[in-house]
Amino acid sequence: MEEVKPQLIKITFDGIEVEVEPGTTIMQAARKIAEADDTQAGLVPPAMCYYKPLPASGGKCRACLVRVAQGSAKDPRPMPKLVPSCITQVQEGMVVENTTNPAVLDTRKSIVEFLLINHPLDCPICDQAGECHLQDFAFEHGSAKTRYEEERRTFEKIDIGPNIQLHMTRCILCYRCVYTADQITNKREHGVMGRGDASEISTYIEKAIDNDFSGNVIDVCPVGALTDKTFRFKNRVWFSKPEDAHCNCDKCSGKAVVWYRGDEVIRVTARKNTWGEVTEFICNSCRFEKKKTSDWVLEGPTKVKRSSVISANKYRADLIKKPDFALKLAATQFKNIDDSRPYVTDSATIREQSIKNNDKANHRSLLSKN
């Protein structure tokens, strides 16, 4: 029997047509465009809370708001409000404006501002710096100055189990870790308490998470609120060297990234895809205990985006284009030497001219001193 393929839906995203399956969200359609054409990566809406491997995530940070200029081919009215692209499903003939609409970009700028209101600017001492989604988001869409003059909210640091530390002050309440704890692990130990900007990520009554997969909350955290205690303050990510590796693990897939400083394994994380999402979660013993090269079978250097700061100082010969800008610069400054001047050969003229030049030089230095 032939498999019945669902009818594809055609939508227009920032003027680019793309065909996707029914039920796809606008965000996934945009990612499809970018996956097909590298140069279009800039039009994908940013996601701070949405995480594809975690069902029900998304819709909270409002960073991915886009404008739907035409709801569908049947009902061409525009949607009255900006819609979150991560949870809005596409309709046949939908026209979406993201980077082409100034209102969307303006709103996004304000979302950065809102998220940074209560986020400490301690990037210089934060372990997440360099692989922080909020840093990228603020760099791409935010303004250089803040208008916020008031005090920021602060919290005490809390240890969640022996290996994870929660620094709630940095949290942007994306709820990703809550969904992870809810869905990857079987017990609901990890939730949100309090309301509004006083809400706190919490394991109820500070009960430590004792689950084999609890460490994954570190990887899903878009900021440095949840950090690996075996790695805290050990190294900056851009000074470490990531290598894809795997091991035989009976609990998880064993596929991980091992981060080196010299010959020393300083941390282990799960593998992330282009969109910074972990698709195969790893267990705590792989993450926190296997800190020797002999525990792992290395596969080769992890592919890191050229735009990422992690790739700094790690040149890959195949990616480097021969620099030709020096030659170009030389070409623009090239001047023909004027050969029409007569060569002076007799010593008397040379002496005379040198004395004259000397006087000029002395005069100039006198002027500058005064």
- Name the residue nearer to other proteins (CB basis): 145 or 321: 145
Q: Which residue has the tokens 């809370």?
A: 49
**Which residues, in sequence order, are CB contacts of 207 under 8 Å at separation 6+?**
189
Binding status of residue 225 toward other proteins by CB under 8 A: no
Site string for other proteins, 112-131 (x = CB under 8 A): -xxx-xx-------------
**Stretch of 6-14, 54-62, 334-342, 353-361 lying at the interface with other proteins (CB under 8 A):** 54-62
Cα torsion through 92, 276, 222, 128, rounded to 10: -160
Give whichever of 21 and 182 is closer to other proteins, judged by the CB atom: 182
Could you tell me the smallest distance in angstroms from the CB atom of residue 224 to other proteins?
17
* Least Å from the CB of residue 299 to other proteins: 38
Q: Which helix (H) or strand (E) holds 361?
A: helix 347-369
Q: How far is the CB of 62 from other proteins (least distance, A)?
A: 5
Rg (CA), the chain: 29
d(CA 303, CA 290): 22
* β-strand partners of 95: 12, 70
Query: Does 47 interact with other proteins (rule: CB under 8 A)?
Result: no
Q: Given the DSSP bridges, would you call strands 95-97 and 9-13 parallel, antiparallel or unpaired?
A: parallel
Q: Quick check: 144 binds other proteins (CB under 8 A)?
A: no
Asked if residue 93 binds other proteins (CB under 8 A), the reply is no
Residues 195, 151: contact at Cβ < 8 Å? no
Nearer to other proteins, 84 or 130 (CB): 84
Regarding 204 and contact with other proteins (CB under 8 A), the answer is: no
For position 110 contacting other proteins by CB under 8 A, the verdict is yes
> Least distance to other proteins from the beta carbon of 81, Å?
5
In eight-state DSSP terms, residue 286 is I
DSSP strands (E only) in the chain: 9-13, 16-20, 65-70, 83-84, 95-97, 157-160, 164-167, 190-193, 200-203, 226-228, 241-246, 255-261, 264-270, 297-301
Asked if 51 touches other proteins (CB under 8 A), the answer is: no
Q: What are phi and psi of 283, to 5 degrees?
A: -90, 170
User: Residue 61 — φ and ψ, nearest 5°?
Assistant: -80, -25
Candidates 71, 93, 120, 191: give the one binding other proteins (CB under 8 A): 191
| Binder of other proteins out of 34, 73, 192, 309 (CB under 8 A) | 192
Cβ within 8 Å of residue 39, ≥6 positions away: none
Among 74, 81, 306, 335, binds other proteins (CB under 8 A): 81
Neighbours of 104 (CB within 10 A): 20
Residue 274 Cβ, how far from other proteins at the closest point, in Å? Answer: 24
Is 196 one of the binding residues for other proteins (CB under 8 A)? yes
Among 15, 77, 122, 148, binds other proteins (CB under 8 A): 148
Q: Tell whether residue 45 is a contact of other proteins (CB under 8 A).
A: no
Q: How far apart are CA 74 and CA 65, in angstroms?
A: 23
With binding defined as CB under 8 A, does residue 69 bind other proteins? no
Residue 99 beta carbon to other proteins: minimum distance, rounded to whole angstroms: 18
173 binds other proteins (CB under 8 A): yes
Q: Which positions touch other proteins (CB under 8 A)?
A: 58-63, 65, 81-82, 84, 87, 107, 110-111, 113-115, 117-118, 147-148, 150, 172-173, 175, 191-192, 194-199
